[in-house]
Amino acid sequence: MLVLLAAVLGLGWMWRGLREEALVGAAYGARIGCVCRFVSQRPMDLCEGDLKVAGLAGAGRWVSLSEDADTRTVRASVPLLAKQSADFDPARGCRLEPWQD
């Protein structure tokens, strides 16, 4: 029981740092995924594979990508912690959605 309490307290103490790492990882993943998919026109599974070898630390290792081909949007998420999307505009390239604190 004491171990469980210590684990819960430790996770609570580390939560903010994990969330910030996850948000940075998701933003990086969305931007790189958007460029990979819509600028380089590579398949999404290869773009996601590129992220896995990018060496993202912490929560960034768990970034997963999805795309909406109709809106030319790539969404990146870290389960339970963060999500971010980037839209492709032929005139401006890939742009992240505004950050929400």
Question: Is it the case that residue 59 has pLDDT exceeding 80?
Answer: no
Residue 31 lies in a domain: yes
Residue 89 lies in a domain: yes
Average pLDDT over every residue of 59-66: 84
In a domain, 12, yes or no: no
* Mean pLDDT of the chain, nearest integer: 86
Mean pLDDT for the stretch of residues 42-46: 94
Q: Does residue 86 lie within any of the structural domains?
A: yes
Q: Is 27 strand, coil or helix?
A: helix
Is residue 2 a part of any domain in this protein? no
Output the pLDDT for position 14. 65
Q: How far apart are CA 26 and CA 39, in angstroms?
A: 19
Q: Report if residue 3 sits inside a domain.
A: no
Range of the domain at 70: 24-96
- How many domains does the chain contain in total? 1
Task: Determine, yes or no, domain membership for 53.
Answer: yes
CB 74 within 8 A of CB 66: yes
pTM: 0.80
Half-sphere exposure of 20 (CA within 13 A, CB side): 4
pLDDT tens-place string over residues 14-37:
667 788 888 889 999 999 999 999
CA–centroid distance for 66 within its chain: 10
